[in-house]
C-alpha cells in the first residue's frame, strides 16, 4: 500500500507526461535523451511556462526539439530547430537548464528573424557571433531574473562579454570552438 497516494499520483503523472510525445505532454517541444534528461528538461520548460510565459512562447516558437548531446549548442538552421544540450548544462540546476533553453531559443530567433527579412543564407555572425551572443546573454539574464535563479547564476551571466564561445581564442566563434566546448 502506498503511504502517500497523492505524491505517488503526481510523480506517476509527471513520469507519464514526460515520456509522451510533445503534443500530448503540453510542452509542444520534443525532448530526446535518457529518462532523467527528459525529466530535467521538462521541469525546466514547466518552470519557464509558469514563471516566464513570454520567454516560454519564444522557446516554443524557436525550438522544436531539445536533445541530449555531448555538448550544448543551437542548430537553428534545422527543421525543426534543435537545441543540443549537454548533461553538464542540463543538470547544473533547473534554473540554469531553463535559462540556457531561453538563451539558445534567442539564438534561433535571431536566425529566423534574419532569414525572414533577408532570406538565406543567414550569416553565422548574425545569430551566433559575438554581438549575437551578447544579445542572448542579456535575454538569458532577464529570464533568470523572472524564474528567480540563484545569485551565482546571475553573476556568472553578468561576467560574460560574449566571447566565451571563442574557446580557442582565435577571434571568432566557429565549429572548432563548438567541438572544444565542455558545456
Entry pTM: 0.85
139 domain-assigned: yes
Domain for residue 47, yes or no? yes
Contact between 64 and 84 (Cβ < 8 Å): no
- Is 51 a domain residue? yes
CA count, 13 A, side-chain hemisphere, 102 = 31
The upper half-sphere exposure of residue 135, i.e. CA atoms within 13 Å in the direction of its Cβ, equals: 16
Q: Can you give the pLDDT at residue 31?
A: 98
- Is 151 part of any domain? yes
Pull the grid cell for residue 51: 514563471
Nearest partner of 149 among 40, 58, 51, 64, judged by Cα: 51
User: Is there a domain that residue 7 lies in?
Assistant: no
Q: Is residue 18 part of a domain?
A: no
Looking at residue 131, its pLDDT comes to: 97
Q: What is the pLDDT of residue 12?
A: 54
Model pLDDT, residue 157:
97
Confidence (pLDDT) at 175: 86
Number of domains in the chain: 1
Cell representation of residue 98? 531553463
pLDDT per residue as tens, the chain (183 positions) = 556 555 555 555 555 554 544 444 577 899 999 999 999 999 999 999 999 999 999 999 999 999 999 999 999 999 999 999 999 999 999 999 999 999 999 999 999 999 999 999 999 999 999 999 999 999 999 999 999 999 999 999 999 999 999 999 999 988 888 888 888
> What is the SS3 string spanning the chain?
CCCCHHHHHHHHHHHHHHCCCHHHHCCCCEEECCHHHHHHHHHHHHHHHHHCHHHHHHHHHHCCEEEECCCCEEECCCCCCEEEECHHHHCCCHHHHHHHHHHHHHHHHHHHHHHHHHCCCCCHHHHHCHHHHHHHHHHHHHHHHHCCCCHHHHHHHHHCCCCCCCCCCCCCCCHHHHHHCCC
Residue 135 within any structural domain of the chain = yes
Q: Is residue 10 part of a domain?
A: no
Structural domain boundaries, residue 34 = 27-180
Residue in 162, 133, 157, 132 with CA at minimum distance from that of residue 147: 157
Amino acid at each position: 500500500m502506498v503511504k502517500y497516494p497523492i505524491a505517488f499520483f503526481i510523480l506517476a503523472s509527471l513520469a507519464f507526461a514526460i515520456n509522451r510525445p510533445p503534443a500530448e505532454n503540453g510542452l509542444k517541444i520534443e525532448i530526446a535523451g535518457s529518462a532523467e534528461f527528459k525529466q530535467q528538461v521538462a521541469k525546466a520548460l514547466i518552470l519557464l511556462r509558469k514563471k516566464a510565459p513570454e520567454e516560454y512562447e519564444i522557446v516554443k516558437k524557436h525550438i522544436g526539439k531539445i536533445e541530449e548531446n555531448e555538448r550544448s549548442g543551437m542548430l537553428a538552421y534545422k527543421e525543426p530547430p534543435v537545441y543540443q544540450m549537454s548533461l553538464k548544462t542540463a543538470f547544473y540546476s533547473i534554473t540554469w537548464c531553463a535559462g540556457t533553453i531561453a538563451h539558445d531559443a534567442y539564438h534561433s530567433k535571431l536566425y529566423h528573424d534574419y532569414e525572414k527579412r533577408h532570406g538565406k543564407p543567414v550569416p553565422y555572425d548574425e545569430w551566433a557571433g559575438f554581438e549575437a551572443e551578447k544579445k542572448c546573454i542579456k535575454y538569458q539574464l532577464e529570464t533568470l531574473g523572472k524564474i528567480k535563479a540563484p545569485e551565482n547564476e546571475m553573476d556568472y551571466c553578468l561576467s560574460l562579454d560574449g566571447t566565451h564561445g571563442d574557446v580557442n581564442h582565435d577571434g571568432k566563434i566557429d565549429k572548432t570552438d563548438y567541438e572544444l566546448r565542455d558545456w
